[in-house]
Structure 1
Amino acid sequence: MIGLWLVCVVQAQPTALNPPRDTLPLLVRAAFHLHDINAVDEQEETFEFSGVLTLIWQDKRQAFDPVQAGVNEKVYSGSFQFNEISPAWYPQVVLVNESELLDKQGTLLRVLPDGTNILTETIDASAKTDFNMRKHPFDSQRLKGVFELFGFDKDVVKLEPLGAESVTHAPGLGISQWHFNGISAEFGSKVAPYLGSEKAASTFTVNIDISRESLFMLRLVLFPLAIMVALSWSVFWMERSSLGDRINVSFIGILTAVAYQMVISELLPHMSYITFMNAYLNISMLVMCAAVVVNLAVGACDKRGKTELGDIIDFRCRWIFPLTYFGLLLLAYAIVQFL
C-alpha cells in the first residue's frame, strides 16, 4: 500500500524530485555539531568522529495549510519514513574524504507550513586527512571532514553557513593524548568531473584543531635518552690510560640507546620524512659515537707520550659535547618550525 501511495504521489508531483527552481542557486544552510572524536590514527592518517549534521532549505512546493493538515509541521522520523514516505527532493551530502563507510544512525526531517525543510542526521564516520608530523612530539594537527553536496553544480545548489556559528562541539570534549583546541568551518567548492567539464560541487569543511600532549613522549623517550647521552660523557673524566674502560662505557651507552630505540619504535610515527623525534634520536646516537672517536684519539696521545694534549682534549670535550648536543637539538627544532 505504501509503495502504491508513493508511486501516486510521484506521478502527481513529478517535479518534486528535482531541486526547487524559484531562485538559483538554491541555498542550503548547513551546520555541524561535534559529539566526540573517538580515535586519531597517526599511521593511517585517519580520525574517527561522531556528530549531528543539520541542513535547512526551502521548497515552496512542500508548503501546506496547518489547519487543513491538522499539524503545525510534518515530521518524517527514521530512515524508513524519510526514504520511503517523504515525497520531496532533498540535498544529499557525502563525506568525500571518508576512509570507511559513513554510518547515519538517526534521521529526522521536519517540514514547516511555509515549505522550510529541516533535515537532521547523526553521523559516525572515519575520515582521512593530511598529518604534518615534522614537529612530533610537539605537533598540532588540523583534522578535516569535507562534506560535498552530491549531484549538483554549485550554481544550482549551494551550501552556506547556518548562522554565525555553523559548527559547535560538545562541552568537555576530550581525546586521548591530544588536547582539543577548537573547531571551525569553511564553505567553498570542489571540482566534480562527474558533473561535466568545468563543474564544481559546493562543499562544507569541518576543521578540528588539536595539539599533542607531549608529556608522555617526554618522560618515556626524551628525558631518559638525554640522561643516557649525558652519562656517556663521563669518559672525559676517566683516566686517559684506561682506554679499554673508556671504550666499554661508550659502547654500553650506544648499545643501550639502540635497544631503547628498538623498544619504542612502535610508538613513533612511521613517516618517510624526518620528524623532530627522528632528529633527536639520530643526534643522540651520533654524539655517543663521537665520544668513541675522542676516546681513541686520547688513547693514541697517551701511547705517544703526548699526555698534555690528551688532557686538553678531555677538558675541552667536557663542555664542547654538551654545547654541541643541545645546540644541534635546538637547531633541529628550529628547522622543523619552518617546514
Structure 2
Amino acid sequence: MTLSGMDPVETEFADRVAIRCADGSLIFRYGLMIGLLLLSLLVACPAKADITPPNPDGPTIVTVDMWIDDINDINLSSGTFDLTAQFGMRWNDPRLAYDSEVDRPRIWMSSRAEQQLKSIWYPVLDVSGEKGLSSARVYWLAIWPNGDVEIREKFTAHPRFDGELHYFPFGSLDLSMALSSAAMDNKQVWFELGELTPKDDLQAVDRILHGNWYPTEVNWSVSAQPGFAHSKRSFAQIDLNILVNYDAHDGVQKVLLPLIVIALVSWGLLWIDLTFQAAYTSPRIGGTTTLILTTIALKFVLNRELPVVHYFTLSDVLFNTTIIMLSVSLLASCLIVGLLVDGKPEPAKRINILVRRYYAVAYVLLLLVSIPLFIG
C-alpha cells in the first residue's frame, strides 16, 4: 500500500517500521506515511521571500535624518573612532494605509516597535568598513493613515578614519562613515538627505567631539556604490565626513616641549668637566643615560596618542633623532673618560671641546636632514 507522491524507498521504510510494531496497527502505518510525506514537502518547497519594497515601478525614496550625539575615542593606534547618533527614516508604503477619523499615527515603542517591524518592509542599513559590529536600538515606529512610515533608532558604530599624519602632532583626519543599503540595490531603494545635526555650527560639533581634536567641516552626501566584484548591482550609500584637526597646543606640550627640554639638558651635561670626579661617579654619564631611558619611556607613555602607520611621522623623527644624539653624547663621554683613565688628557680635551661646540649644531642638522628624507 502506497500514498501518491511517495517514492518506493519511503514506503518500504514505513512498512518495515510498521511490521516491527507489536500490534501492526493500520493507523500507525498511515500516520507514519503522512508524516514522511509532509517532511518531503517541507524540504522540496522553497522558503518564502522577504517583503518586497512598496514601489514596484522604481526605487522607494527613503528620507534620512541624523542627530549626532557623541564622537569619541579617536584611536590613532587602531585607526578607528566611536560615533553615537540618532537615526530617523521616513518613506511611504501604500499597503499600510488605513482609515482614521483623526490625522495621527499609530505608534509602537521600543520592543513592540521591533516586533512590528518584522511584519512590514523597511530598509536595512549597514555601516561599511567598521571595526567589529555596530549596535542599534529602535526607539519608536509610527505609521500614518496615508501609509507614511517613520522610524527612529539610536546606534553606535566604530568606523575607520582616513588621513595622512606625516606631520603629527600637526595634521588632520577625515572621520568618515558610510551607511549603505544592506540587501536592496539602488533600483529598489534610494536615500534622500534630510536633517543633519549638528552640521554648520562647528561649536556645537566641538562640544560632542572629545579628545585633542577640533572640527573644521561637516558634510554628508548620497552616492551609488558597486557591490561585490561578481555583482552588477549598485547600492545606495550615505557618506558622512567630519574633518578634524589635531590640537597643536596639546602636541607641543606632550611631544615637542619635552623633547626640546631633553635635548637642552643633554647639551648642558656636556659642559660638566669629567676631570673633577671619578669616571664611575660622573653625573655626565649617569645623566645622559637617564635622559635616554626617559625619552624611551616618554614614547611608550604616549603610545596610544601616537599614530601607528606604515610611514614615518614628525613625532617619530623627533624621538629617533633625540635618542640618536643622546647615544652619541653618551659614547663621546665614555670615550673621554677612557682617554683620561689611560693618561691621555690632551686627546680627551680636544674631543670634549668638539662635542660641546658642535653637539647642538649636529642635532639641528640631523633634524633638518631627517624631516625631508623620511617625511617628504
Equivalent residue number for residue 143 of structure 1: 175
Structure 1: how far apart are the matches of 2:263 and 2:92? 67
Q: Secondary structure at the match of 2:324?
A: helix
**In the alignment, residue 177 of structure 1 is paired with which amino acid?**
N
Q: Verify the 8 A CA contact 2:72 2:209 in the aligned structure 1.
A: no
Distance 1:233 1:330 in 2: 18
Contact 1:253 1:288 in 2 (8 A): no
Structure 2: gaps (5+ residues): 1-47
Partner Cα distance (1:307, 1:87) in 2? 89
Could you say which residue in structure 2 is the equivalent of 1:190?
225
Aligned to 1:37: 71
TM norm structure 2? 0.68
Of 240, 257, 263, which residue of structure 1 is paired with 2:291? 257
8 Å CA contact 1:232, 1:249 repeated in 2 = no
Question: 2:211 is paired with a residue of what secondary structure?
Answer: coil
Task: Say whether the 8 Å CA contact 2:109–2:140 is kept in structure 1.
Answer: yes
The percentage of aligned residue pairs carrying the same residue is 19
Q: Alpha-carbon deviation of 1:337?
A: 7.4
- Report the alpha carbon displacement of residue 38 of structure 1 after superposing the two structures with TM: 3.9
Q: TM-score, normalised by structure 1?
A: 0.74
- Equivalences for residues 237-316 of structure 1 within 5 A: 237=271, 248=282, 251-264=285-298, 265-268=300-303, 269=306, 271=308, 272-291=310-329, 313=354
- Aligned counterparts of 2:348 and 2:72: Cα–Cα separation in 1: 64
Structure 1 residues without counterparts, runs of 5 or longer? 1-13
Mapping of residues 45-64 of structure 1, within 5 Å: 45-64=79-98
Q: CA deviation at 1:98?
A: 3.3
Residue 134 (structure 2) aligned to one of 87, 94, 102: 102
- Aligned partners of 1:57 and 1:117 also within 8 Å: yes
Q: CA deviation at 1:49?
A: 2.0
Aligned length: 317
Matched residue type, 2:133: L
Aligned runs of 1:1-339 on 2, under 5 Å? Answer: 17-21=51-55, 23-67=57-101, 70-84=102-116, 87-130=119-162, 132-162=164-194, 165-168=195-198, 172-193=207-228, 197-234=231-268, 237=271, 248=282, 251-264=285-298, 265-268=300-303, 269=306, 271=308, 272-291=310-329, 313=354, 318=357, 320-326=358-364, 328-329=366-367
| Distance of 1:166 and 1:103 partners within structure 2 | 20
Encode CA deviations 1:272-325: one digit per residue, 9 max, x unaligned.
Answer: 43222111011112223344576659x98x9596899769846xx64x543443
In 2, Cα distance between the equivalents of 1:307 and 1:77? 84
> Which protein shows a greater Rg?
2
Q: Give the whole-Å Cα distance in 2 for the aligned partners of 1:71 and 1:52.
A: 26
Residue 56 of structure 1 contacts residue 117 of structure 1 at CA under 8 Å; is this kept in 2? Answer: yes
> How has the CA–CA distance of structure 1 residues 336 and 48 changed in structure 2, closer, same or farther, with 3 Å as cutoff?
farther
Per the alignment, do residues 134 and 252 of structure 1 end up closer, same or farther by CA in structure 2, a change over 3 Å counting? farther
Q: Distance in 1 between matches of 2:100 and 2:87?
A: 27
- Is the Cα–Cα contact under 8 Å of residues 40 and 48 in structure 1 kept in the other structure? yes
Q: Distance in 2 between matches of 1:130 and 1:107?
A: 31
Displacement of 1:55 in angstroms is: 1.5
How far apart in 2 are the matches of 1:17 and 1:306? Answer: 90
Q: Residue 63 of structure 1 contacts residue 115 of structure 1 at CA under 8 Å; is this kept in 2? A: yes
AA partner of residue 320 (structure 2): N
Tell me if the contact between 2:103 and 2:144 (Cα under 8 Å) persists in the aligned partners. Answer: no
Give the aligned residue type for 2:154: T
CA distance in 2, matches of 1:156, 1:131: 34
Distance 2:347 2:126 in 1: 77
1:131 deviates by 5.7
Amino acid paired to 2:60: L
Deviation per CA, 1:121-177, whole angstroms, max 9, x where unpaired? 111233333464433322322222221111111232122322xx5453666324133
Q: What is the DSSP-based 3-state SS (H/G/I as helix, E as strand, rest coil) of the residue aligned with 2:208?
A: coil
What residue number does 1:6 align with? Answer: none
RMSD: 3.9
Q: CA deviation at 1:188?
A: 1.6
1:88 counterpart letter in structure 2: I
**1:50 Cα deviation after fit:** 1.2
Q: Is the 8 A contact 2:255 2:315 kept in 1?
A: no
Ranked by relative contact order (alpha carbons within 8 Å, sequence separation 6 or more), the top structure is 1
Output the CA distance in 2 between the equivalents of 1:311 and 1:258. 20
The answer on whether the counterparts of 2:66 and 2:86 sit within 8 Å (CA) in structure 1 is yes
Would you say the 8 A contact 1:16–1:88 is kept in 2?
no
Q: What SS class does the counterpart of residue 158 from structure 2 fall into?
A: strand
